[in-house]
Amino acid sequence: GQQVMQIPQYQHVQEGEDFTTYCNSSTTLSNIQWYKQRPGGHPVFLIQLVKSGEVKKQKRLTFQFGEAKKNSSLHITATQTTDVGTYFCAGHSGNTGKLIFGQGTTLQVKP
């Protein structure tokens, strides 16, 4: 079945350093979504990418969707302590409504 893999599982950075998490799907995705979950909270939607090769930015966050629509990345420039949390990618495959999440990357930022 469809699988969405995400690496790394954990990342500890010093405040001000950059951070990247990578997402790979075993099947072609109709879209890729990114969510952030703060400790003790629920996942909150960040962004959706639909087009092959699409790049979107939200302030210090840059999201990219691969040309083959099977991989994606999230890059945070100059991390801050408010960036702490777990970042998940998620994808729809086809028209089934099924939404599969990656395992998440937990980011810790040392002040």
Partner 1 sequence: SQTIHQWPATLVQPVGSPLSLECTVEGTSNPNLYWYRQAAGRGLQLLFYSIGIDQISSEVPQNLSASRPQDRQFILSSKKLLLSDSGFYLCAWSPPTSPRGTKNTEAFFGQGTRLTVV
Which of 24, 48, 62, 108 is the binder for partner 1 (CB under 8 A)?
48
Asked if 85 touches partner 1 (CB under 8 A), the answer is no
Contact yes or no for 35/88 (Cβ under 8 A) = yes
Asked if 100 touches partner 1 (CB under 8 A), the answer is yes
CA-closest candidate to residue 66, choices 23, 18, 103, 8: 23
Closest CB 16 distance from partner 1, rounded Å: 26
Residue 57: φ, ψ to 5°: -125, 145
Q: Which is nearer to partner 1, 24 or 77 (CB)?
A: 24
The Cα–Cα gap between 79 and 97 comes to 34
Q: Which residues contact partner 1 (rule: CB under 8 A)?
A: 6, 30-31, 33, 35, 42-45, 48, 88, 90, 92, 94-104, 106
